Amino acid sequence: MVTSTSLVYLIALPLFGSAILLLAGRRSDKWGHLLATALSASSFGVGLYQLSQMLARPTEERAITQKLFSWINVGTFNVDAGLLLDQLSICFVLLITGVGTLIHIYSISYMSHDENRRRFFAFLNLFIAAMLLLVLGDSYLNLYVGWEGVGLASYLLIGFWNQKPAYATASKKAFVMNRVGDMGLSFAIMIAFATLGTVSFSGVQEASHTASKAALTGIGIMLLVAATGKSAQFPLQAWLGDAMAGPTPVSALIHAATMVTAGVYLIVRSNFIFDAAPTAQLLVVIVGAITLMFGALVGTAKDDIKKALAASTMSQIGYMVLGAGLGPAGYAFAIMHLLTHGFFKAGMFLGAGSVMHGMNDQVDMRRYGALRKFMPITFATFGLGYLAIIGVPPFAGFYSKDAIIETAFNAGGVKGILLGSTALLGAAITAFYMTRVMVLTFTSKERWEDDQHPHESPLLMWLPMAILAIGSVTTGFLFTRGHALVNWLAPVVGEHAEDEKVLLQPVVVSALALLAVVIGVAIAIRKYQLSDVEKVAPQNVSFFTRIARKDLMQDSFNEAVFMKPGQTLTALLVQGDEKVVDGAVRGVGTMALGAGSALRKTQTGFARSYAALILIGAIVLIAGIWVVTQ
């Protein structure tokens, strides 16, 4: 393994920026955003340099490591704080720093009226540093540090406008639900340490050949729990919609392109565990399939443009998790969809931010309409992202999503047919709700108020959108040309032999997917473009629409099943503490008090009665002695 000394700069640069901005305080208000953007960009530069170095080396020497310091050194258990850059991490490094830098640039303009813009950039830099640590750590323990770091950054940024109580609550909700997932990761690390005796990726990979299946299944399931928490997958998905309380660039960077895909990274990185534990792998597929339908259904009912996009993110990550659960055949496609999704979804979120910017922060799509005339660049970039996500050839989503649908169909047996059909149905619904977003926002009739003056956003905002739009057009083609990404990732995720017996030919799958897309788009156009849309969401809707608007009752379910019993339990414990523990303490006091006042009555103050008592006592004593000695 080649060692390097320059990997640490990837993380150190944004971390340094975050520290400077937070420590310098208001003094750095004037130039803080520029420093943060420059440091993020230079981290991207280091990433590009590393990529060029990597390309210059032969395949087997491409992965490089750097040992920072010896972290934990107890007996036979040694963990170094070490970094690992291989073919998988470099994809993430470039995505995080590349998209991150674009979003920094966008935020300079988007947040220019916010008096806390410097703090915002400090948190953004902190996020970039933590996310890079997550993907560069060479052991589960190092990954865990970054994992918690991005959780912290996410919490700080969702609650960035914490003067609004609802936003502060949303950040707490995200934080608490993430903790549940994080517990899974810590359990996985504990099981790995207890059964395999090591927590480094290479060590676990070696040990996984000889380890017991039960241990690997346990680790796999716990890793899946961690992934569901961070990636907003079923059943820990409820926080993502509320996380849209954060500023839009945050939604684009953290809750669309990078952090929420950390779960997919974790599963793909742990491919050796899931390959050896079929039960855990099956659960991954099930979680992915459920979430992709769940997110798609929620997306059809949301009128808030950001929440509709958030539901779509959830659904698309469902596709990635589904891909990652299909084993060596799907890992590369999961990563490919992750990368293309990073481009088009970040682009669309920035587009949504641009629309909100021009519409006085209105987020209700029923109050938009006909914005194409006023925001041509936003319309164009959002439209390219839209074509990419619904999977129209030759845009990026077509290549990556079709690959996952095709792999799902070819998973074999009933499982393959079920998964494939789910993915196909999800594609149709995706086409429906994304067309709905597109039509309601840009093409249908005007439904906004007279005092709103929609206008195009400034250069600093549309330039990142344009670059991301180019990415959403080209990346799919580039990644699939000569199986570029599949071959690139093969040393990390394992080679996959081409299956002889396939259920459906790629052409057939593509045709079916396109048919699904056309149906979805047609229904959406008929419903929203060709008929009038009400300004206020109609109330006399079907039962399904109503529960979809309420996120398929996810919050009610969590409240009824976890929150209410939890509250009852704590109330019981408080009562138990007051009644039993405090009661015992107070009871001793009360008893002494009562005994005292009872005994006080014998103190009459008459000397003769005392004398009589002494006499009686003496007689009783003597009688007692006499009885005993007889």
Residue 189 φ/ψ, nearest 5 degrees: -65, -40
Contact call for residues 442 and 358 (beta carbons, < 8 A): no
Cβ proximity to other proteins, 505 vs 604, nearer residue: 604
Contact call for residues 337 and 344 (beta carbons, < 8 A): no
414 lines the binding site for other proteins (CB under 8 A): no
Taking the complex as a whole, how short is the minimal distance between the CB of residue 626 and other proteins, in angstroms? 14
479-492 burial code (b ≥16 CB/10 A, e <16): bbeeeebbebbbeb
Three-state DSSP state, 80: strand
Taking the complex as a whole, how short is the minimal distance between the CB of residue 607 and other proteins, in angstroms? 5
User: What is the DSSP secondary-structure string of 148-209?
Assistant: HHHHHHHHHHHTTTTTSHHHHHHHHHHHHHHHHHHHHHHHHHHHHHHHHS--BHHHHHHHTT
Cβ proximity to other proteins, 3 vs 604, nearer residue: 604
Cβ proximity to other proteins, 69 vs 606, nearer residue: 606
Taking the complex as a whole, how short is the minimal distance between the CB of residue 609 and other proteins, in angstroms? 9
Cβ proximity to other proteins, 612 vs 623, nearer residue: 612
Binding mask 557-596 for other proteins (x = CB under 8 A): ----------------------------------------
Taking the complex as a whole, how short is the minimal distance between the CB of residue 602 and other proteins, in angstroms? 11
272-284 burial code (b ≥16 CB/10 A, e <16): bbbbbbeebbebb
Cβ proximity to other proteins, 166 vs 615, nearer residue: 615
Q: How many CB atoms lie within 10 A of CB 610?
A: 13
Taking the complex as a whole, how short is the minimal distance between the CB of residue 614 and other proteins, in angstroms? 9
| Helix %, strand %, coil % of the chain (to 5) | 75, 5, 20
The rounded distance, in Å, linking the Cα atoms of 213 and 207 is 12
Binding mask 590-609 for other proteins (x = CB under 8 A): -------------xxxxxx-
CA end-to-end span of the chain: 96
Cβ proximity to other proteins, 589 vs 605, nearer residue: 605
Of 539, 520, 538, 524, which Cα lies nearest the Cα of 440?
524
Taking the complex as a whole, how short is the minimal distance between the CB of residue 621 and other proteins, in angstroms? 14
Q: Do you find a cis peptide bond into 458, omega within 30 degrees of 0?
A: no
- The piece of 4-12, 271-279, 295-303, 610-618 that touches other proteins (CB under 8 A) is 610-618
Q: Do you find a cis peptide bond into 249, omega within 30 degrees of 0?
A: no
The rounded distance, in Å, linking the Cα atoms of 396 and 470 is 10
The rounded distance, in Å, linking the Cα atoms of 598 and 607 is 20
Taking the complex as a whole, how short is the minimal distance between the CB of residue 591 and other proteins, in angstroms? 25
Cβ proximity to other proteins, 482 vs 605, nearer residue: 605
The rounded distance, in Å, linking the Cα atoms of 391 and 293 is 17
Cβ proximity to other proteins, 561 vs 615, nearer residue: 615
Cβ proximity to other proteins, 536 vs 607, nearer residue: 607
Taking the complex as a whole, how short is the minimal distance between the CB of residue 620 and other proteins, in angstroms? 14
Cβ proximity to other proteins, 52 vs 603, nearer residue: 603
Cβ proximity to other proteins, 572 vs 621, nearer residue: 621
| One residue of 611, 622, 623, 625 binding other proteins per CB under 8 A | 611
Residues in the interface with other proteins (CB under 8 A) total 9
| One residue of 522, 588, 615, 622 binding other proteins per CB under 8 A | 615
Of 50, 60, 155, which Cα lies nearest the Cα of 98?
50
Taking the complex as a whole, how short is the minimal distance between the CB of residue 596 and other proteins, in angstroms? 16
Contact call for residues 330 and 323 (beta carbons, < 8 A): yes
**Two tokens at 472?**
């959403």
Binding mask 231-270 for other proteins (x = CB under 8 A): ----------------------------------------
Taking the complex as a whole, how short is the minimal distance between the CB of residue 605 and other proteins, in angstroms? 3
Taking the complex as a whole, how short is the minimal distance between the CB of residue 594 and other proteins, in angstroms? 20
Question: SS in 3 state form for 347-375?
Answer: HHHHHHHHHHHHCCCCCEHHHCCCCCCCC
Region 121-160 residues binding other proteins, contact defined as CB under 8 A: none
Give CA torsion, residues 570, 557, 255, 66, to 10 deg.
Answer: 60
Q: How many CB atoms lie within 10 A of CB 530?
A: 9
| One residue of 459, 612, 621, 625 binding other proteins per CB under 8 A | 612
Taking the complex as a whole, how short is the minimal distance between the CB of residue 604 and other proteins, in angstroms? 7
Cβ proximity to other proteins, 30 vs 600, nearer residue: 600
Question: For binding to other proteins (CB under 8 A), which residues are involved?
Answer: 603-608, 611-612, 615
